[in-house]
Structure 1
Amino acid sequence: MTATNGTLLVVGSGLKVYREYLVAPISRRARAAGLELVLLNNLKPTWQCEYFDEVVVANVFDSAVMGAAAREVAARRRIVGVMCWDEPLVLDAGLLAAEFGVPGLSERGVRGCRDKELTRAELTAAGLHQPGFELTTTVEHARAAAERIGYPVVLKPRAMGASIGVVFAADRSELDEAFRIALSASRVDPGPYRASAIVEAFAPGPEISVDGAVHKGEYLPLFVARKDSSDHPYFEEVGHVVDAADPLLADQELMRTLARAHQALGIEDGITHTEVRLTDRGPLIIEINGRLGGDLIPFLGRIATGIEPGEVLFDVATGRRPDTAPARRAVAGIRFGYPERDCLLRSVTVPTQAPGLVAAAPMAEPGSTLRLPPGGYLARHSFVVCEADSVPTCRDRLAGAAALVELDAEPVGPPVADAPFAMPAGLLDVDE
């Protein structure tokens, strides 16, 4: 086989520490299949050069610029697949896959994933358990919506990810500030869904996420992550644990709900990351993201199950039904380090040895200002990943490894009034 078999187009690579574990197996599979890999990236390549045959530098966060760059590649190469795992880029990448006629979520599917209002509407129309909800653009509208829906409520941007701008309001005294925070976060989104916030009924219960593959409309679960979140009013994700033997993988009600939800949104081919509340009325789909999970959840899944998420992504992007059978049974977890208050980071040191430690790394550079909600989000200074043969042991190991992180930081004052919130530190790759 030769490289004339076609080209896989990847939109956005992400940080090396977060995404190299995906890119490496994709590159191996592409070379074995005689396919070339081309990356559209917002910054000059560094570590990516080892894996890609070509890197095109363009502002991928500008839809017109990114689309023009992708079409220029398609004009001189035969595109056989499009991949993307970065939430702000998923919509444009999905639309390009549909335009190029290659496997993807479908135009309807990618819009249903990216637009949280549309997700709610489609799942409600399909008869799935969903909270009452309403899209709002003014605080007066949000107040009226909350009264109709009934407190407590959650306010969230229409299309942000990673729980950015998601706020709990117990009653009307908390509504105005919650709306201000959600709307402020929504304005950061460069896409078509900015400057609006959804008000929805709060659904109590444990929260999980499920990464799954979709092949020609068939939903194939990969692994379940149990989520640890911060206290209300915010929903910052502080850690996850993946158990290859999680009994939820055999829960028929949950699996039927996931399959029905994907069918209702018209998702055809791809990998999705679905967030679910386990309520007393059964599983409630919070959102379906048209990409692999963030927070290194697929990395945890690989450690726990032996399933290689990069290979699964390669298969669905090239029209193959992936092998999703687990190859091992273990438990893996991640714990993120957050400061106790807004601070200027001087240094952070992570452990190199600890029981069950698989990986640990800083997540912010010295000199970074880390701000907690509502002034900023994902103010993480580090992470640790541990493996064990049981969930309790894994959690104990995570706590032990996290306690070994050494942080040197100085407190900073509050942000300027009405300043836009601080974007998460360390989430984009940097120039060499």
Structure 2
Amino acid sequence: MSGHENRNDVLLVIGSGLKVYREYLVAPIRRRATAVGLDMVLINNLVPTWQREYFDEIVVANVFDTGTLNAAAQEVADRRNVVAMMCWDEPLVLDAGLLAAEFGVPGLSADGVRGCRDKERTRAELTAAGLHQPGFALVTGVDEALTEAERIGYPVVVKPRAMGASIGVVFAEDAAELAGAYRIAYAASLVDPGPYRASVIVEEFAPGPEISIDGALHKGEYLPMFVARKHSGDHPYFEETGHVVDAADPLLADHGLMAALARAHEVLGIEDGITHSEVRLTDRGPLIIEVNGRLGGDLIPLLGRTATGIEPGEVLFDVSTGRRPDVTPAKRTVAGIRFGIPERDCLLRAVRVPEHAPGLVAAAPMAEPGTTLRLPPGGYLARHSFVVCEGADTTECAARLDAAAALVELDTESVGPPEADAPFAMPAGLLDHDT
């Protein structure tokens, strides 16, 4: 479809994401767009492969360069009538949100997208509004980090100012651990191509279970869709190893939690879109860790769809085109995902996932043979595979995830440690190659 052009109104999508993570969202969006006569145009950094099936036109440009992305989007807008925009790729959310505001189409709003993307701004605005928040400080060096951590009180969490997937987020028990935690967070922050690059936040550690909530916004009204219970990796890092969504999760009926989320979105100025909020359930009540201006990653929207029957792609289409979405569950089951993560750094030779298992919804490799997988702090998202299972309740779902994960077959080779001063690299070969 690339290169096709007509005068239909256009839904402009910035960045497609990986096929394994996002095709299940793009397909229902395409159906809804076709039904109302909207063309779909994608601006993406890779030569299209699987995307051709869903888009009427694909513009290849370096979307990670603000000037290049803005020029490409403006060129589309000059010859097409852009009536809606979408973006679900964390590094692109800020630029896409600002473009939506400039084009006058529904979006998070200029203030809203800045409030989501900049964790320091999120903290400051939610604190000023009286919402339960940790003590925090934006720091520029180890000495300042030590000073602020002493003021805040240990233990603390050190994190990049604007990254996702818990990349570079480190727990520090005391001053002896703080310097190393700062170096790890700072190194991770250098990957961010945006204006918050090379920035680190030190904040008070809040103990308690961590959850995430995907919710829709229509003209500022917050509409929660589903709650995911997060499972994290080895201390002192916070990388996600899995999630579970229960359509009947009692937290959906927790008025305090939902009121805090609605108020946070109001304070941040978020208008239209879908957000992925991360919250710790502390003994002082819900503490909003961050509000991301996009759908959840880690296939959480797929878990939500499987457990509740809510179609996140359709909800995103509705809010992006100015419609109030229906977020009423159509079913009530439990769905979970388990990521395959090696015990130590390794070179992946082969990975085979099960085709059949009780309750298995999906399973796939997440890295190609020849990929070096490094655990934090030398690397992040060192995932070789995932399995998704559905069950009648959380106990059955957990048992099915255990059984399916045990069927993954792995062939690896040991590798030495990374060079001491080497910057960490995201895993190569993550399926979305351009050949």
> Aligned residue for 1:292?
295
Is residue 2:57 matched to residue 1:54?
Answer: yes
Per the normalisation by structure 2, the TM-score is 0.98
- CA distance in structure 2 between the aligned counterparts of 1:374 and 1:395, rounded to whole angstroms: 28
> Aligned residue for 1:152?
155
> Aligned residue for 2:81?
78
2:241 counterpart (229, 238, 242): 238
> Aligned residue for 1:42?
45
2:336 counterpart (333, 337, 352): 333
The residue identity in structure 1 corresponding to 2:373 is: L
- CA distance in structure 1 between the aligned counterparts of 2:65 and 2:420, rounded to whole angstroms: 28
- CA distance in structure 2 between the aligned counterparts of 1:182 and 1:15, rounded to whole angstroms: 25
* SS of equivalent residue, structure 1 residue 260: helix
> Aligned residue for 1:163?
166
- Tell me the CA shift for residue 17 of structure 1: 1.1
- CA distance in structure 1 between the aligned counterparts of 2:30 and 2:41, rounded to whole angstroms: 10
The residue identity in structure 2 corresponding to 1:102 is: V
- CA distance in structure 2 between the aligned counterparts of 1:344 and 1:428, rounded to whole angstroms: 16
Runs of at least 4 residues off by over 3 Å: 424-428
Contact 2:371 / 2:427 at 8 angstroms: preserved in 1?
A: no
The residue identity in structure 2 corresponding to 1:58 is: A
Is residue 2:116 matched to residue 1:113?
Answer: yes
Alignment of 1:228-377 (within 5 A): 228-377=231-380
Contact 2:159 / 2:168 at 8 angstroms: preserved in 1?
A: yes
- CA distance in structure 1 between the aligned counterparts of 2:187 and 2:339, rounded to whole angstroms: 25
Is residue 2:190 matched to residue 1:193?
Answer: no
> Aligned residue for 2:422?
419
> Aligned residue for 1:137?
140
Contact 2:371 / 2:429 at 8 angstroms: preserved in 1?
A: no
**Residues 294-329 of structure 1 deviation map (CA, whole Å, 9 limit, x = unaligned):** 000000000000000000000000000001000011
The residue identity in structure 1 corresponding to 2:351 is: V
> Percent of pairs identical after alignment?
79
Per the normalisation by structure 1, the TM-score is 0.99
Q: CA RMSD in A?
A: 1.0
- Tell me the CA shift for residue 424 of structure 1: 3.3
Deviates more, 1:225-234 or 1:4-13: 4-13
| Structure 1: gaps of 5 or more residues | none
Number of residue equivalences = 431
> Aligned residue for 2:185?
182
- CA distance in structure 2 between the aligned counterparts of 1:423 and 1:40, rounded to whole angstroms: 22
**Residues 358-401 of structure 1 deviation map (CA, whole Å, 9 limit, x = unaligned):** 11000000000000000000000000000011001101100110
| Structure 2: gaps of 5 or more residues | 1-5
> Aligned residue for 1:218?
221
**Residues 97-141 of structure 1 deviation map (CA, whole Å, 9 limit, x = unaligned):** 000000000000000000000000000001000000000010000
- Tell me the CA shift for residue 430 of structure 1: 1.2
* SS of equivalent residue, structure 2 residue 270: coil
* SS of equivalent residue, structure 1 residue 203: coil
* SS of equivalent residue, structure 2 residue 357: coil
> Aligned residue for 1:401?
404
- CA distance in structure 1 between the aligned counterparts of 2:287 and 2:274, rounded to whole angstroms: 20
- Tell me the CA shift for residue 34 of structure 1: 0.4
- Tell me the CA shift for residue 15 of structure 1: 1.3
* SS of equivalent residue, structure 1 residue 8: strand
Contact 1:4 / 1:35 at 8 angstroms: preserved in 2?
A: no
- Tell me the CA shift for residue 422 of structure 1: 1.6
- CA distance in structure 1 between the aligned counterparts of 2:429 and 2:304, rounded to whole angstroms: 23
**Residues 24-48 of structure 1 deviation map (CA, whole Å, 9 limit, x = unaligned):** 0000000100000000010111111
